[in-house]
Amino acid sequence: MEEINPDIPDCGSINIDNVRYKTTLTKMFLSRKPYVPVNPKLVVSFIPGTIVKMCVKVGDKVKKGDKLIVLEAMKMNNELMASMDGVIKNVNVQAGERVVRNQPLIEFK
């Protein structure tokens, strides 16, 4: 049986090419955020900025490529387009509102 050294972070194992290796895990590795897959039905801001114009409202039917929002960031107007066909379920922002990075803006049904 192995002794536990209090100075060494938690031990764990990794799998490389179907071979399991025992290793120590760093504090940075243990405190990382878990992976969350991208939700295709959620439109989020990719950069902080101000909503200049809303081009859709709840219940609107949109097609892939339709303009949803105009977001001003770094003195540039960025048009956010629909990535799929669908119906707008929820609009979380209004024109003139400041948004932060990764803030949910629009949700599809």
pLDDT tens-digit series, residues 66-84: 999 999 999 999 999 999 9
29 within domain boundaries: no
Instruction: Give the domain range for residue 76.
Output: 42-108
Structural domains counted in the chain: 1
Q: Tell me if 64 is assigned to some domain.
A: yes
Q: Left if phi > 0, otherwise alpha if psi is -120 to 50, otherwise beta: which for 51?
A: beta
> What are the counts of helices (DSSP H) followed by strands (DSSP E) for the chain?
1, 10
Residue 58 forms part of a structural domain: yes
Predicted pLDDT of residue 41: 94
Query: Is the pTM above the cut of 0.85?
Result: no
Indicate the helix (H) or strand (E) that contains 68.
strand 67-73
Amino acid at 73: A
Query: Residue 99's domain is classified under what CATH number?
Result: 2.40.50.100
